[in-house]
Amino acid sequence: MTAHSVALQKLPTDLLQDRLPRHVAVIMDGNGRWAKQRGMPRIRGHQRGADVLKELLRCCKDWGIQALTVYSFSTENWGRPLEEVEFLMMLYERVLRRELDELIRADVRIRFAGDLSVLPEILRNRIDQAVLATQNNQGIQFTVAKNYGGRQEIVQACRAIAQKVQQGLIDPAQIDEAQFERHLYTAGICDPDLLIRTSGEMRLSNFLLWQMAYSEIYVTDTLWPDFDRTQFHQALRDYQQRERRFGKL
């Protein structure tokens, strides 16, 4: 074991284990700007961003955070240049193929949120393989939002419930928040305690609109490819200084 891995496993002394967020969500923004600032093509920013995500997942697991959800590709991202979209699909497939064995060894359970039906077949197959291979892992729950939109998620949940009502499987009087949540992509995962957004943008961008009703929001000007363990440490420290009242006194 290297000195780096030993240091990474140890929770910083100024963080309290019992006050860590159970679930962290991240909007990984700024890959293209990071590359542009360095005179590189945008795809270099996405490549660097994939490496940063790997380190964040490892840090979450080592520090005892139960779940990590990341906004990987939104329903609106299809409007980007075709060359960039095609590269992203190839990058996602390659990363899954390359990292699957490590995910299994690290006891990571991976799942995906979003409409996966329109993704390239080779990527869908790789996703199915990863989900199946890690389904019994008990370490950290890692959710990747792919072709995801918060409004679309709510609409599809409403449709699914309406169909069950029509079939007589659900009494409309039984529909409550718990029933609704069971029809979301994130069913079975606790809501995010903390949302981190990089690159300084002050918006949710259609991400986990239902689930983040009471999430604490932390925004940093740091671009995603520069978001490291020190930046994550600062976000957690800020989170632990907040008083979460959930509308109560």
Q: Kindly tell me the sign of the dihedral angle through the C-alpha atoms of 60, 226, 12, 9.
A: positive
Tokens of 202: 């002050």
Active site residues: 29, 77
| pLDDT(230) > 50 | yes
Q: Which pTM was predicted?
A: 0.93
Check pLDDT > 80 for residue 3: no
Give the lowest-confidence range in 9-18, 75-84, 116-125.
Answer: 9-18
Q: What is the pLDDT of residues 201-224, one digit of tens each?
A: 999 999 999 999 999 999 999 999
Instruction: Calculate mean pLDDT across residues 139-163.
Output: 97
Confidence of residue 247 (pLDDT cuts 50, 70, 90): low
Report pLDDT for 244: 78
pLDDT for 85 beyond 60: yes
